[in-house]
Structure 1
Amino acid sequence: MSAENLVEISSLDFAYEDRPILDGISLQIPRGKVVAIMGGSGCGKTTLLRLIGGQLKPSRGEIRVDGQSVPQLDDEELYALRRRMGMLFQFGALFTDISVYDNVAYQMREHTDLPEELIRDMVLMKLNAVGLRGAHGLMPAELSGGMARRVALARAIALDPMLIMYDEPFAGLDPISLGIIGQLIRRLNDALGATTIMVTHDIQESLLIVDYIYFMSDGKVIALGTPDEIRASRHPFVHQFVHAEADGPVPFHYPAAPLAQELLARHAHGG
């Protein structure tokens, strides 16, 4: 494993029962970088995050994080590795029955023996980093969608992780919140000296903040490159995705007989 890469995946296959999800995936995530994994729904992006985090085991292939083979770790080793990872799953999923403060403190209390006064300082610093120190006493139900996502970011970085993984961090946000979250992801990564993997559909926001992009389709990596390389890509699927075209390799129409043929057939049967 190259010392420059925090995550290395090679020849990775994964199937749910008989249904193949990932097919021969190989990719490298360099230390200190923000890397996006993109593609249409159901192409295996979230599954890839769960494999890196050790929640799933591959059918074949290798996943190494900071030199360790994730599928070969025992429960204790995996627990120790996960302490060094921050995760933000789709929609942030805060604990609704505890305050913003306690949401961010949760992992510190769970994974460390730090005294409560030190936890307090750390929680307020994390909330300050996302601009929400003043909201520490609020309950999740009192937050807007954008604020809830920022609290989830603070929680994901609670233990200063070496690797932060985001699953659709922009989903359901208004344009202003989306821009704020994008800039925060970049700033938090650089301030912590962390490495970030982001699964997202939001191509335009991602192109502004990421260093590198992997494009997936049908369980395979079909394109990779810097934002500029991806913008200029001639690959039909990538071009359609980047330019949000309704029709292309991903068709707008569900397969059907030609419309004229169906209409004529109806008239021929006396409509």
Structure 2
Amino acid sequence: MSTDSLVKISDLNFSYDNRAILKGINMEFPRGKVVAIMGGSGCGKTTLLRLIGGQLRPSSGSVTVNGRVVHEMKHDELYQMRRRMGMLFQFGALFTDISVYDNVAFQMREHTDLPEELIRDLVMMKLNAVGLRGAHALMPNELSGGMARRVALARAIALDPMLMMYDEPFTGLDPLSLGVIGQLIRKLNDALGATSVMVTHDIQESMLIVDYIYFMSDGRVVAEGTPDELRATKDPFVHQFLYAEADGPVPFHYPAGDFAADLLRAGARG
């Protein structure tokens, strides 16, 4: 693995029972960069995040994080590695029965022996970084969707992770909140010196903040490149996805017989 890659995925295959989900995936995520994984629903993007985090084991191939093969780690080693990862779940997934402050403090209390006075300072720093220091006493049900996502981001960076993973971070956000979250992902990644992997369907916002993009289809990488390279591509699948075209390599019509013949048969029966 090149020394500037925090994560390397090599010839990765994964199946549920006999159903192949990932088929020979090869990717690299350089240190300090923001990388997007795009593709249609069900193509294996979220499964890939679970393999990076060690929740799943590959059928073959490997995921290497910071020089260590994830599926070869013992339980304690995997637990220690996860402490250096942050995860922003779709819709935020805040703990609903505790305050904004306690949501962000949760990991610090769970994984460190820091005194409460220092935890308070760190929590306020994280909330200030996402613009919500003044909301520390609110409960999750008092937050807008965009605010909740920003609190979840503050919680995800609580322990200054080396790797941040985002699962559809823009889902359900209004345009203003979407722009704020996008810029926070970029700025926080750069401030922490972290590496970020973002699974997303949001083309326009992602193209503004990421360094590199992998396109997946049917469990395979079908295209990759920088935003500028992909904007200029002639690849029909990427073009259809980038410009939200209804028909193309991914057809509008589900496979069916000839429509005119169907109508003639229906008329004959009538």
TM-score range (shorter-chain normalised) is over 0.9
Unaligned ranges ≥5, structure 2: none
Cα shift at 1:264? 2.2
1:189: which partner in 2?
A: 189
Give, as a single letter, the amino acid of the residue that structure 2 aligns with 1:15: S
TM-score, normalised via structure 1 length: 0.98
Match of residue 169 from structure 1: 169
Structure 1: any 5+ residue segments left out of the alignment? Answer: none
The 10-residue stretch of structure 1 (11-20 or 259-268) with the greater mean CA deviation from structure 2: 259-268
The CA deviation at 1:254 is 1.6
Q: Distance in 1 between matches of 2:101 and 2:4?
A: 36
Q: Which moved more, 1:239-248 or 1:260-269?
A: 260-269
Partner in structure 2 of residue 207 of structure 1: 207
CA deviations 1:21-48 (Å, max 9, x no partner) are 0000011100000000000000000000
Whole-Å Cα distance in 1 between the matches of residues 15 and 129 of structure 2? 39
Match of 1:235 in 2: 235
The 5 A counterparts of 1:28-67 are 28-67=28-67
Q: CA deviation at 1:263?
A: 2.2
- Return the offset for 1:183: 0.4
Q: Which residue of 1 aligns with 2:17?
A: 17
CA distance in 1, matches of 2:51, 2:90: 16
**Equivalents in 1 of 2:231, 2:20: separation in Å?**
29
Equivalence for 1:153: 153
Matched residue, 1:89: 89
Q: Distance in 2 between matches of 1:224 and 1:230?
A: 7
Find the aligned partners of 2:147 and 2:251 in 1 and give their Cα distance.
36
Identity, in percent, stands at: 77
Give the root-mean-square deviation of aligned CA atoms.
0.8
Shift of 1:157: 0.3
Q: TM-score, normalised by structure 2?
A: 0.98
Instruction: Find out whether 1:131 has 2:98 as its counterpart.
Output: no
Distance in 2 separating the partners of 1:62 and 1:162: 20
Q: Secondary structure at the match of 2:57?
A: coil
How many residues in Structure 1 have an aligned counterpart in Structure 2?
270
For residue 259 of structure 1, report the CA deviation from its aligned partner: 2.8
CA displacement, residues 55-96 of structure 1 (integer Å, 9 cap, x when unaligned): 101010011101111110011000000000001121111111
For residues 260 and 177 of structure 2, what CA distance do their matches in structure 1 show?
A: 45
Aligned counterpart, 1:106: 106
Q: Secondary structure at the match of 1:94?
A: coil
SS at match of 1:7: strand
Question: Could you tell me which residue of structure 2 aligns to residue 221 of structure 1?
Answer: 221
CA distance in 1, matches of 2:140, 2:261: 54
Could you tell me which amino acid in structure 2 is paired with residue 86 of structure 1?
G
Q: Which residue is equivalent to 2:26?
A: 26
Distance across 1 between alignment mates of 2:124 and 2:264: 69
For 2:136 and 2:261, locate their aligned partners in 1 and report how far apart those are by CA, in whole Å. Answer: 63
Return the letter of the residue paired with 1:147.
M
